């Protein structure tokens, strides 16, 4: 299993230009299964995906979703084709699942 960023690098720069702190609890396989630390929310990682998925379909998804998310996030009207909507939905689901496995503590 590899560490996957909850927020990919392009999104961290775009969505969190000033960082932002929060407490994070990571589930691990070591003696301290719920280690907590404080740090920038944009750098949260979760050990939840295999290397083949992380470097394969998940990477491809980021490459295709990134430009679309940037385009619709600038506050201007935008039309989305059904394929764009499906792409955004898949990216949101993938991001939510990784985020869930990071075990955030509010």
Residues in the chain: 106
pLDDT of residue 81: 93
pLDDT of residue 77: 81
Tokens of 55: 């470097």
Does 79 have pLDDT greater than 80? yes
Does 106 have pLDDT greater than 50? no
The SS3 call for residue 31 is coil
Mean pLDDT score across all residues of the chain? 79
C-alpha 67/C-alpha 51 separation (Å) is: 24
Does 41 have pLDDT greater than 80? no
pLDDT of residue 13: 74
- Residue with the bigger pLDDT between 55 and 99: it is 55
Does 28 have pLDDT greater than 60? no
Q: What is the mean pLDDT of residues 24-50?
A: 66
Q: At which residue do the structure tokens 């980021």 appear? A: 62
C-alpha 101/C-alpha 28 separation (Å) is: 11
Residue 82: which pLDDT band, with cuts at 50, 70 and 90? very high
Q: At which residue do the structure tokens 């000033």 appear? A: 18
What's the pTM?
0.72
């Amino acid at each position: 299993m590899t560490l996957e960023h909850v927020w990919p690098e392009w999104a961290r720069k775009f969505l969190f230009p000033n960082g932002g702190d929060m407490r994070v609890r990571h589930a691990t396989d070591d003696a301290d299964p719920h280690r907590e630390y404080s740090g920038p929310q944009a750098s949260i990682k979760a050990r939840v995906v295999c290397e083949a998925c992380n470097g394969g379909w998940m990477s491809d998804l980021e490459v295709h979703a990134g430009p679309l998310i940037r385009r619709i996030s600038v506050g201007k009207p935008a039309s989305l084709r059904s394929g764009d909507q499906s792409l955004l939905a898949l990216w949101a689901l993938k991001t939510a699942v990784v985020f869930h496995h990071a075990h955030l503590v509010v």
